Structure 1
Amino acid sequence: MSAELRHVRAFLAIADAGTITGAARALGIGQPALSRTLARLEGHLGVRLVDRSTHHLALTAAGTAFRERARRVVAEVDAVLDPARLTEWTTAPLRLGYAWSALGEQTPELLRRWRAARPGLPLELVQIDTADAGLADGRAHAAVVRGRVRVPGTRSARLPDERRVAALPEGDELAARPSVLLADLAARTVALNDETGTTTPGLWPAGARPSVSWVGSTAEWLVAIASGRAVGVTAAATAVLHRFPGVAYVPIADAPPLPVHLVWPDPPTHPAVPELLALVQRVSGADETPRG
């Protein structure tokens, strides 16, 4: 049993109207026909999208999740088929989001090579203090995401892992060492960002965890460390893009590496995302196949 775009549009009309009768009226078709269309889509997906047990219909959990992705897909199809938007869509800047540090020391190389390959299509790096670095609300067409972050409705490609470093006040005794251990930080207060940070208390063994000072942004994190109120743990790339007066970065010898991914909506919201993926993989040395 196959489904088509019209089935998806019918489902969205039902979700918006709250009743099959109202959706049928809005679409200009009969209620029985619309009910069959919905059943066809549910049969194709193998899951119930709409709970019909009450007079006022309600979406199931699967229906709610499907609605968000369906809206994005239908909007993209409408945009692709709009002749007036073709030129705009192919020349609009490509926005690469990141919460902390983009590609670290490889960021300038990425920008140089993109400018040489696509001089008419700007690649803009945008720092966005959300876990998905602006993917969910459309502020970014793709994002560099660190840690185990899952973003619904996206695909991802694994980039090389990064080592972790400690961020310390410059006058701290640990800042003069060539490297430190996690245990060296356990007696300190560690600044953590629970929205975009890649470090949690679980990085330390139970019973030997540091006290925590919560911060709301990268800037707050840097100020807390520079002022001596806390220390931090972050990706090595942060040390490249976030040099800050009073903050020193020292490698952590026994911290596990940090996974890094390039993540983008599926389907992409900019036609140049595949080119960006290929270049990011070349610049970073990654060669892994994208995952759904």
Structure 2
Amino acid sequence: MTAPGPASASGVELRHLRAFAAVARRRSFTRAAQELLITQPALSRTVAQLETHLGVRLLDRSSRGVALTDTGAEFLVHVERTLASFEAALSAARGALTLRLGFSWLLPDPWAQRAIAAFERASGAQVELVRCDDPLDALARQSVDVALVRGGRPVGSAVHTVHLYDEQRVAVHAREETEDDGREGRGALRWQDAPQWTLVVNTASGTTGPWCWPDGNGPRRYVETANFDEWLESVAAGRGLGIVPDAAERRIHHPALRFMPLTGAPPSPLRLAYRPETGTGSALLRRFLDAALEAAVTCTDAGQA
């Protein structure tokens, strides 16, 4: 690719911003093209046009993948806010209200289905599901209105949280080729044996990591990953042990993984995080939080949460 030329921002269109944001989120032209339903060459041309119009390089391309430049990272913050404002303006013009719920992996069931259905019936608004590697980062960028957060990691003083319920933890590791698919005779791991583990950690949105053992009694070795997909495939490849909420055992069907009970582990809290100044409107957000809490109570009473 040739170096960007002199800036000419007058040629920048929404399609340029959407293309750049998709590549920046996915860190891949291939995955971004699939998301946007266009060809990869067309996507590459669109992003190159944006860089030429701006006169700056936004992305570094290499054989290892795609990375944001410092300028690109700063630009992405403004792009996501611009796109969010544009979508909000369209919704207002159509007379429709939308609340964007950010999540990193596997919405908890049946809580999500019950909460969303109750909210949409009561409010007439719609919930837009936004999959993101780091929901708290998406909340800070204002690309979501409320974020589903698993685990007990700090969220920062600018963010408020509502506790829904606690999930139990289970262990998962790579299945040996000689293992069958039966569940009989599964051994259990003990939380107190953590120093013996090599633990695979999702540093963006994982529920179990070094922060779970503040007294230093945690695993001696960690393998860090940047999102759920990397975490999943690292565990499947035998890089180490994974610890996840038990919802994953019901929802993940990976032939290379085996789940095991985990005794003595503290529960993993499930929370909703939001910023009090959210642009969606405090009344709409409050109605969603009320529906979410009611669904959490229902699930807990039924023993399904």
TM-score normalised per structure 2: 0.57
Deviations 1:1-29, CA, capped at 9 Å, x for gaps? xxxxxxxxxxxxxxxxxxxxxxxxxxxxx
The counterpart of 1:239, out of the listed 249, 252, 268, is 249
Supply the distance in 1 between the matched residues of 2:275 and 2:211 (Cα, whole angstroms). Answer: 30
When Rg is computed on C-alpha atoms for both structures, the one with the higher figure is 1
Q: What percentage of aligned pairs have identical amino acids?
A: 25
What amino acid is aligned across from residue 160 of structure 1 in structure 2?
Y
Match of 2:280 in 1: 270
Residues 199 and 247 of structure 1, relative CA distance in 2, 3 Å threshold: same
The counterpart of 1:194, out of the listed 203, 213, 216, is 203
Residues 142 and 236 of structure 1, relative CA distance in 2, 3 Å threshold: same
Return the offset for 1:90: 6.3
Supply the distance in 1 between the matched residues of 2:217 and 2:153 (Cα, whole angstroms). Answer: 24
1:280 counterpart = 2:286: no
Supply the distance in 1 between the matched residues of 2:98 and 2:296 (Cα, whole angstroms). Answer: 22
Match of 1:139 in 2: 143
Q: Secondary structure at the match of 1:275?
A: helix
What amino acid is aligned across from residue 192 of structure 1 in structure 2?
V
1:249 counterpart = 2:259: yes
CA contact (8 A) 2:115 2:294 kept: no
Match of 2:154 in 1: 149
Match of 1:65 in 2: none
Residues 158 and 88 of structure 1, relative CA distance in 2, 3 Å threshold: farther
Supply the distance in 1 between the matched residues of 2:264 and 2:293 (Cα, whole angstroms). Answer: 27
1:166 counterpart = 2:171: yes
Match of 2:133 in 1: 129
CA contact (8 A) 2:200 2:231 kept: yes
5+ residue gaps, structure 1:
1-74, 287-292
1:41-60 alignment, distance < 5 Å: none
Deviations 1:181-234, CA, capped at 9 Å, x for gaps? 124554342111222222223545746624211111100111111222221012
Deviations 1:113-157, CA, capped at 9 Å, x for gaps? 344445x52212222112615110011100111223223433221
Match of 2:103 in 1: 98
Q: Secondary structure at the match of 1:262?
A: strand
What amino acid is aligned across from residue 195 of structure 1 in structure 2?
A
Residues 282 and 87 of structure 1, relative CA distance in 2, 3 Å threshold: same
Q: Secondary structure at the match of 2:223?
A: strand
Residues 244 and 114 of structure 1, relative CA distance in 2, 3 Å threshold: farther
Supply the distance in 2 between the matched residues of 1:194 and 1:113 (Cα, whole angstroms). Answer: 33
What amino acid is aligned across from residue 203 of structure 2 in structure 1?
D
What amino acid is aligned across from residue 213 of structure 1 in structure 2?
V
CA contact (8 A) 2:135 2:147 kept: no
Supply the distance in 2 between the matched residues of 1:165 and 1:148 (Cα, whole angstroms). Answer: 18
TM-score normalised per structure 1: 0.59
Residues 242 and 149 of structure 1, relative CA distance in 2, 3 Å threshold: farther
Residues 107 and 86 of structure 1, relative CA distance in 2, 3 Å threshold: closer
Deviations 1:240-266, CA, capped at 9 Å, x for gaps? 444433223333111111222211111
Greater alpha carbon shift after TM alignment, 196-205 vs 225-234:
196-205
Supply the distance in 1 between the matched residues of 2:201 and 2:141 (Cα, whole angstroms). Answer: 24
Deviations 1:21-61, CA, capped at 9 Å, x for gaps? xxxxxxxxxxxxxxxxxxxxxxxxxxxxxxxxxxxxxxxxx
CA contact (8 A) 1:96 1:143 kept: yes
Residues 88 and 134 of structure 1, relative CA distance in 2, 3 Å threshold: farther
CA contact (8 A) 1:168 1:231 kept: yes
Count matched residues: 203
CA contact (8 A) 1:133 1:140 kept: no
Deviations 1:56-89, CA, capped at 9 Å, x for gaps? xxxxxxxxxxxxxxxxxxx9xxx9xxxx889349
CA contact (8 A) 2:199 2:222 kept: yes
